[in-house]
Amino acid sequence: MARLASDYRAVRSVTRSLAAALSPEDQMVQSCPEASPVKWHQAHTTWFFETFLLRPFLVNYKPFHEEFRRLFNSYYNSLGVQISGKPLRACLSRPRLDEILAYRAHVDEAMETLLSARIGDEAARLLLLGLHHEQQHQELLLTDIKHAFFQSPLHPAYELAPLAAQTSVPVSDLAWHKFNGGLVEIGLTPSARNALEFCFDNETPRHRVYLEPFLLANRAVTCREYLDFLADDAYSRPEFWLSEGWDAVNTQGWEAPLYWERDTTDETGWRVFTLRGWHSLGGLLDTPVCHVSHFEADAFARWRGCRLPTEAEWEFAAYGRTVHGNLLDSGRLHPAKPHGRGLEQLFGDCWEWTSSAYCAYPGFQPLPGPLGEYNGKFMSGQMVLRGGSCATPASHVRAAYRNFFHPATRWQFSGLRLASSVSSSNQPWLPPCRP
């Protein structure tokens, strides 16, 4: 149990460090319905440990405040009605931030007591779920505060140090990797005997799928390549867009990725808002394009004469590869240039949209009890993303990890990688295939 106690302290410490530079006023802001205030992220992750570990497993545990049981419940309907819906979380000026921090300290102290004893497998699995749940909220904390700062007329920077230049990094040419496909296995089936082996229920069970031969690009699509898409007036050409995507372009006024703003002083005509403030797009041209919706990713792929990979193709290509890349641990907080050889950027930089709808794997069984609401009930109207981003903790992601959002979502670090069926790989505008 020493490892679990150490992991608990480490994860909680990361959350504290991510919020440390933010004022109480910063932590109150909720700039869009999809986001949550930083203060709420800190309270809700604490609520999770109190609700699913301390209340059922720690004898004589005294809750910090009984009202918090309802106040910081997110969407677990089986635990009772929530006090306020997600769009109203910014109204929670009380409890004050110092009370939330005291709540975190109270729960941390009780968790130390719980972890000082030998806990059973059920509690260990719940603790791991709580840790990965908090890591999800660490990423959300960053994407939410980025959106909040972008909406502010002052456009403050989350991190004051400027974005490190990568002028000396050679950029990988776009190339293709061929996969023969066939009958393959994806997903995970954790061992019932190993309580420390973790995955989310939506990654299970491991099962077989048949893949036709396919090509996968060696890296993510760059801002330079996406700028060509804009230059071809693609946002006003309906032939590239899914119907709902075309509606979104017109009703929401999309003309470029989120956080791109026109700037006549830049050679490209654009500047980009980052967690480190405004940055010239000219200095980011060879970094992965990010903050695009599934609709934009799909439209770009169609414009290019390609498609998005299925989630099974993506996982098959990534299976067995070490999780390494520009993740939260690097501290960059923005996508970086590709610079290696082979299949790169599978982990980190940007979540990559796939063409797969988020649905249950064959034989899927949600977790028992209230935690069955964690993933399964969202299997409608969402698309799958793979690979993690520059805001994802490295210990949180793996090849089988299934992220999911509505196809119009743009506030996450979401990008794309091109794929193609082998039979259509001879189109003249595609790069030459490299096996």
d(CA 398, CA 351): 12
Residue predicted with more confidence, 118 or 58: 58
Residue 80 is predicted with a pLDDT of 75
pLDDT, residue 431, reads: 47
pLDDT of 432 above 50: no
pLDDT on residue 428 = 37
- Bridge partners for 177 per DSSP: 216
What is the average pLDDT score of the chain? 92
Report pLDDT for 192.
61
Every domain of the chain and the residues it spans = 2-151, 176-424
Residue 56 has pLDDT above 80, yes or no: yes
pTM of the predicted model over 0.75: yes
The pLDDT assigned to 408 comes to 98
Tokens of 171: 């950029």
Q: How high is the pLDDT of residue 293?
A: 98
> What gap in Å lies between CA 217 and CA 337, rounded to an integer?
15
Query: Could you write out the three-class secondary structure of the chain?
Result: CHHHHHHHHHHHHHHHHHHCCCCCCHHHCCCCCCCCCHHHHHHHHHHHHHHHHHHHHCCCCCCCCCCHHHHCCCCCHHHCCCCCCHHHHHHCCCCCHHHHHHHHHHHHHHHHHHHHCCCCHHHHHHHHHHHHHHHHHHHHHHHHHHHHHHHCCCCCCCCCCCCCCCCCCCCCCCCEEEECCEEEEECCCCCCCCCCCCCCHHHCCCEEEEECCEEEECCCCEHHHHHHHHHCCHHHCHHHCCHHHHHHHHHHCCCCCCCEEECCCCCCCEEEEECCEEEEHHHCCCCECCCCCHHHHHHHHHHCCCECCCHHHHHHHHCCCCCCCCCHHHCCCCCCCCCCCCCCCCCCCCEEEEEEECCCCCCCCCCCHHHHHCCHHHCCCCEEEECCCCCCCHHHCCCCCCEEECCCCCCCCEECCCEEEHHHCCCCCCCCECC
Phi, psi of 159, deg, nearest 5: -115, 125
Residue whose structure tokens are 């994860």: 11
pLDDT at residue number 93? 87
The predicted model gives 296-323 an average pLDDT of: 97
Residue 373's pLDDT is what?
86
CATH superfamily of 176-424: paralog of FGE (formylglycine-generating enzyme) (3.90.1580.10)
In tens, the pLDDT along 233-268 reads: 999 999 999 999 999 999 999 999 999 999 999 999
pLDDT of residue 84: 58
Instruction: Among 44-53, 85-94, 120-129, name the one with the lowest average pLDDT.
Output: 85-94
Say what the pLDDT of residue 208 is: 97
Per cent of the chain over pLDDT 70 is: 95
